[in-house]
Each structure stands twice: as C-alpha cells, then as structure tokens.
Structure 1
Amino acid sequence: MPALLDRLLADERARFIVIGGINTVVAYGLFAAFEAAFGGRYLLSLLLSYLIATMLAFVLHRRFTFAVTGRARIVVDLLRFESVYVVMLAANAVLLPVLVELAGWSSLAAQAAIVVVTTIMSYLGHKFFSFRRPRPRARGGV
C-alpha cells in the first residue's frame, strides 16, 4: 500500500486532487459556516471563504502540488495565482445567484455543483499560468 501511495503522490495531478480536496473541504466548510453566521448572505459568504481558502491553496499548491521553491518569485506567483482565482470567483459569483435565484437551488447545493467546474479551471490555470516556469534552454547546438 505505501508503494501505491508513493506512486500516486509522484503524479502532479494526484497531488492536485489531494491538495485541492483539502482546500475544497476547507473552503466549502467556511462557506457553510459563513452562510449560517450571516443568515443566507451567500455572496458575502463566498467572498470571505474565498479570501481565506485561496491563501491556504496558494501555500499548499506552490509547495506540494507544483513543488515550486525559493522566494525570488513568490510575489509574482501569488499575483498569477490570485488572477486565476479571481476569474474563478467571478464565474462563481455569476453562477451562484443564477442557480439560487433563477433555478431555485439551495445555496449549498449550488456551491457544491460549481466546485466541479472551478476545480478543472483551477488545475489548468495553475499548471499553465500560476506556477509555470520557463523551460531550460538546450545546451549546444546542432
């Protein structure tokens, strides 16, 4: 079993799913807690849970998922990371009221459905934009 776990965690996509799963549970838990605390103000709950969860996600994805080290580019990485999440937040902020107000879904069910879409957006955005590093140039020439 440990060998299987080692092989799985050697795969970046598997690490993304594990870290993303942890972050999704935290973000969704925060969303639900803020919903209860603020009496159904789901857009406020979305914003507050977003602010906390994206900081957690940045640290975990940078360190574990994409194995980026060093402090030289941390601000650039954070700005790129947040730009991906801002797009996802905008999509979420549009879809959530549509599903709640127009389709009649509960805010918790709507948010759970939206997570599926934003997870795919997140992986692609972070892999190809947030934590992308230039490829090393080949030495020597032909």
Structure 2
Amino acid sequence: MFHRFLIFSGLAAAVNLVTGYILYAGLGLVEGWQYALAVAIGFLAGMGVSFVLNRRYTFEPSGRLTRSEAIDFFAVSVGGLAITTTLAENLRGHLPAIDPHLPPEALAHITAVGLTAIYSFFAHKYVSFRRGRRSDATPRTPDERP
C-alpha cells in the first residue's frame, strides 16, 4: 500500500512542484508572502490529484461517503499544507546549493514536500480513508435528521 501511495502521491507532488515552480520561477513570486502563496497554490493543485488517485488506487474502500472522505482529506491536507509551507519557508536559503540551475526556493520546496509525505501517508490512512461505521455509508434521505 505504501508503494502505491508513494507512486500516486509522487504524481501529485509533481503537479505541486511544477505549479509552484511556474509561480515562483516563471512568474517571479519570490518576495515575502508571494513565495509562501506560490507553494500553497502548488500544494492545493497536488492535493486534488492526490485525493482522486489515492482514493481510487491506494486505500481500500472505507465504506464512507465520498463527501466525508473529501472533507477529512481536505482537513488532513491543510495540516500538510501548513507543514509544507512552513518547512519550505524555513529551509529556503539554508540548504546547500546542489545545482546552479536549481533555485534555492525549488530545493526547499522539494525537501518540504518529501518530508510532508510521511505525515500524509499515516494521516490519510487513519483519518481520511479510515473504515466507517455502516451507518456512515448509508446516505440519509432529506427527511432524516442528523
């Protein structure tokens, strides 16, 4: 299961990194809050890809409504967004240059995404796609009250 998560989350991470790179390297969003915004937008783009692929191919069906899974996935991902953005911002300028063509923002972003993957796997496994009670999987009719 973890290997599938890495593959599909890797694809989502690629969407994340390419989107972020276009914003900070292509459009020049590198000053102050702009860099954090570029990383956050990249993360959100990757999050959509990750939900679809991991829900379909990585985790066993939870028996819960897609809406419930999506809400939990979003909440877990917001935690991941906070971790990724904070790490990227704090690592930027503190990592050694490994390639003159790789800006420090990109290296910090890649490192942050990689570290956040560990948190994401366990959080999505035990929160987003956790097994539901049978009653969670049965849609309510409009007449039923919560």
TM-score range, shorter-chain basis? 0.7 to 0.9
2:67 corresponds to which letter in structure 1? Answer: V
Aligned length: 123
Among the aligned pairs, what percent are the same residue? 29
Check conservation: 1:84, 1:122, Cα contact below 8 A. Answer: yes
- Who is 2:19 aligned against? 30
Helix, strand or coil: the match of 1:132? Answer: coil
Check conservation: 2:12, 2:46, Cα contact below 8 A. Answer: yes
- Who is 1:118 aligned against? 116
Q: Report deviation, 1:135.
A: 7.5
Map residues 1-142 of structure 1 onto 2, 5 A cutoff.
12-39=1-28, 40=30, 41-68=34-61, 73-100=65-92, 103=94, 106-134=104-132
Higher normalized helix content (fraction of residues): 1
Work out which structure has the larger RCO, using CA pairs closer than 8 Å and 6 or more positions apart in sequence. Answer: 2
1:55 corresponds to which letter in structure 2? Answer: G
- Listed one character per residue, the Cα deviations across residues 36-83 of structure 1 (whole Å, up to 9, x for unaligned) are 23312321211211222111111111111114377x611110110011
C-alpha separation between the residues in 1 aligned to 2:95 and 2:55? 37
Q: Report deviation, 1:104.
A: 6.5
Query: Normalising by structure 2, what TM-score?
Result: 0.74
- Who is 1:8 aligned against? none
Query: Normalising by structure 1, what TM-score?
Result: 0.76
Helix, strand or coil: the match of 1:68? Answer: coil
When the two chains are superposed, the root-mean-square deviation of aligned CA atoms in Å is 2.2
